[in-house]
Structure 1
Amino acid sequence: MFILHVDDEVMLRMLTARDAEPLYQITDQSREYLKKWLPWLDEIHSVDDSLSFIKNSFQLYNDRKGITAGIFWFDQLVGVVGFNELDFKNKTGYIGYWLGENYQGKGIMTKAVSALITYGFSDLSLNRMDLRAAKENLPSRAIAERIGFKKEGRIRQAEWLYDRYVDHIVYGLLKEEWNNE
C-alpha cells in the first residue's frame, strides 16, 4: 500500500474502505467549488460511490497503471492526489489532484504534488511528469508553475465540463529539471 509522509502536517496514503465516508463528505461539501474544474461530480451521489472510486483506485494500483492517494492534513482527509496514469514504457506519470474548498491556500497541495513528483522520479524511475489544467483554473496552474513545470502548450476544447468545453494547458517536468530531491 502506498504511504508517503511529506512532513509533520501532510501525509499521502492510498484510500481504504474506512475513508469512503470522509471522502464523500469532503467531495459533497466542496461540490459546487470542484464542479468548476472536475467533470465527475455528478457521478458521486453517496458513500457507496466514493467506495467504488476507492476500489477502482486499488485495481489501478495493483495493475501498475496509476496511484491514487488521499491527502491527509493533520490526519484529516482534505483532498486527493495521484498519478491518474502511469506509462512505464515512456516513463511518464500523469498527475491529477483536487483539494477541498476549505483547505485552499495553505500550501497543502504544493507539498503533496512535490512529494509525489520526488517519489515518481526516485522510486518509480520516471523521466517525465505531465500535468494538465483548464486554462481558466488559475490556482491549479499556479501550483504547476510554482513547482517548476514548464508550460508546453494548449489543447483546445480538451474537456467537456457539464455545459461547456474548456481548453487545457499542458505542463511538463523532466527528471533532470527537478531539484527537490
Structure 2
Amino acid sequence: MLSHKIDQNTELKLLERHHAEAVFRLVDANRDHLRPWMFWVDDTKTVSDSETFIQKALEGFARGTEIHLGIWVDGEMAGIVGAHTIDPIKSYAEIGYWLGKGFQGRGIMTRAVRALIDDLLGERGLNRVEIRCAASNRRSQAVAERLGFRREGRLKKATPVRGGFEDLLIFGMLAEEWRSGKKDMGR
C-alpha cells in the first residue's frame, strides 16, 4: 500500500523523506499529548530526527519487514499508522499508531487501522496482527476493541511510560476472524 483513500477527506500515504517536516511539526505540537505513551517523543528533537525515522522505515518497507503510513486529513498530517514488525515467516505483524490531539474523536484512527489490517491480512496474506499498548492508554485499547480484536494477554511492567514502566496489553486478530466479519465492527 503506497497510498489509500479512506474517505473524501482522509488518505493514508507511505511516509517518504519529504514528509519529515510535517511529521516533526505534528510531533512537536503534540509532545505533551504523546509523551505518556510514546517513549521516542523526547528523542525527536529536529526535522533530521524525523528524516532518520522515515529513512529507516523506508529501508524496512523495501525489505518487507515494516510499513509506516502518514494519515492526512484535508491535506494536513494528522498522525501515523504502521506495522513496525512484519514477519513473513511467522505470518505475523505488530502494529502501532498515534494521532495528533486535534484529530481525535472522529473515528479517523479506527478507519486508518482498518485499512492497514485489510492490507496486512488481505493483500499480504498474513495470518495474525497484534496491537500492543500501555494499560493506561484507553484510546489505543478502544481502537482495538472497536475493530473486534480480542485481548489476549498482559505483560507486567513491559513498556516505558512516564519515566517508569507499565503493564502492556496484547490484542490479537487472526485473518480468519477478520474475514468472518469482525472487521465490520466500529464502522
TM-score bracket, normalised by the shorter chain, equals: over 0.9
Counterpart position of 2:107: 107
| Distance (whole Å) between structure 1 residues aligned to residue 137 and residue 162 of structure 2 | 16
Which residue of structure 2 aligns with residue 125 of structure 1?
A: 125
Counterparts of 2:46 and 2:163, CA distance in 1: 23
Superposition misfits of 4+ residues, deviation over 4 angstroms: none
Partner of 2:13: 13
User: Unpaired segments of 5 or more residues in structure 2?
Assistant: none
Question: Equivalents in 1 of 2:51, 2:144: separation in Å?
Answer: 29
**Aligned residues: percent identity?**
35
| Counterpart in the other structure of 1:158 | 158
Q: Which residue identity lines up with residue 159 of structure 1 in the other structure?
A: T
CA drift of 1:73 comes to: 1.1
Report which stretch shifted further, 122-131 or 12-21. Answer: 12-21
- Counterpart CA distance in 1 for 2:2 and 2:86 is 14
Q: C-alpha deviations, 1:142-177, integer Å up to 9, x for none?
A: 010011000001000111235110111100001111
* 1:25 positional shift: 0.6
Q: Contact between 2:36 and 2:162, CA under 8 Å: does it hold in 1?
A: no
Query: Which residue in 2 is equivalent to 1:70?
Result: 70
CA offsets 1:53-102 (integer angstroms, 9 cap, x no match): 11111001011110011011122111000111001111111110000111
Partner amino acid, structure 2, of 1:31: R
**CA separation in 2, counterparts of 1:138 and 1:115?**
21
Q: How does 1:134-149 map to 2 (within 5 A)?
A: 134-149=134-149
Letter in 2 for 1:45: K
Distance 2:17 2:90 in 1: 32
Structure 1: tracts of 5 or more residues without a match: none
Following the alignment from structure 1 to structure 2, what is the Cα–Cα distance between the partners of residues 85 and 4? 20
Q: TM-score, normalised by structure 1?
A: 0.96
Structure 1 partner of 2:82: 82
Question: Which residues in structure 2 correspond to 1:36-47 (within 5 Å)?
Answer: 36-47=36-47
Cα deviation code 1:10-69 (max 9, x no counterpart): 211111222111111100000011001111011101111111111111001011110011
How many residues are paired up?
181
Per the normalisation by structure 2, the TM-score is: 0.93
Match of 2:92 in 1: 92
SS in 2 for 1:90: coil
